[in-house]
Amino acid sequence: MPYTNSNTCCDENTMTLIGKGLVTAEPDIAVLRLGVETTGADLTTAQEENARLSEAILQALRQLGIEDIQTFQYSINKLIEYENSNRIDKGYSVRNILEIRTDQTEQLGLIIDTAVHSGANVVDLVSFEVSDTYAYYLQALNLAVINAWDKAKSIAETLGLTYVPVPRRIIENETMPVPFRTIGLKEGFITTPIEAGTQRIEASVSVTFVY
């Protein structure tokens, strides 16, 4: 909802400025997608091996206190190769990917190593998030308003005005982010340690000042 000063007159001088605010936040949530891909000459063999390894991974993760685990992807594919235009049946592949959410970001390397040692051979994604994004965004929004006001005061000083411009209209620019940092991974392993770093949360406003 824009802020409007109803006491101003329509023929008053105005200036419209853009204000920007930036804060940084440390991620407190990690999202992992990892699991097992098995192959076999027949589907039953591939499924049984996959189920065995997946269960071992689940048990190992739960021993670390990880409870927020769900199946992200389960797929079965027929393996076919062509040689000299001849179709060759190579059996089946079974892929079971688990999605894990945890606030133990400092233990991320241990969590992944534990899964790998228990049989995981696919790590698809490592993502870091800030859980209370909105609180940080409000801080950035306030800084954006201050930034616009500082610009207005600087311009007023340059123009030799004896009073500070008054904000008549404030519009929030729709730029609220959902900050996260993702490390995209293909099949294989990830090396520890893993650092989450910091997330940039930005806000922007357009402010019209009367002078």
* pLDDT for res 188: 44
* pLDDT for res 176: 56
* pLDDT for res 11: 65
pLDDT at 5 over 60: no
| H or E element that contains 110 | helix 108-117
* pLDDT for res 137: 94
Cβ proximity of 94 and 42 under 8 Å: no
* pLDDT for res 180: 55
Structure tokens at 133: 């994004």
The mean pLDDT of 5-32, rounded to a whole number, is 82
Cβ proximity of 135 and 179 under 8 Å: no
Q: What is the DSSP letter of 120?
A: -
pLDDT at 102 over 70: yes
Sketch out the chain's domains with CATH numbers: 14-27+132-180+190-210 (3.30.110.170), 29-129 (3.30.70.2970)
* Cα separation, 190 vs 33, whole angstroms: 12
Q: If pLDDT is split at 50, 70 and 90, which confidence band does 185 have?
A: very low
CB count in 10 Å sphere of residue 153? 14
3-state secondary structure of 8: coil
The mean pLDDT of 113-123, rounded to a whole number, is 95
pLDDT at 95 over 70: yes
pLDDT at 121 over 50: yes
- What pTM, to 2 d.p., does this model score? 0.68
The mean pLDDT of 136-153, rounded to a whole number, is 96
pLDDT at 205 over 80: yes
In the block, tokens 């409007």 appear at: 4
* Cα separation, 28 vs 201, whole angstroms: 14
* pLDDT for res 174: 79
* Cα separation, 151 vs 149, whole angstroms: 5
The mean pLDDT of 149-163, rounded to a whole number, is 93
Cβ proximity of 196 and 129 under 8 Å: no
> In sequence order, what DSSP letters do the residues of 126-188 get, joined into one string?
EEEE-TTHHHHHHHHHHHHHHHHHHHHHHHHHHHT-SS--EEEEEEE-S-----EEEEE--BS
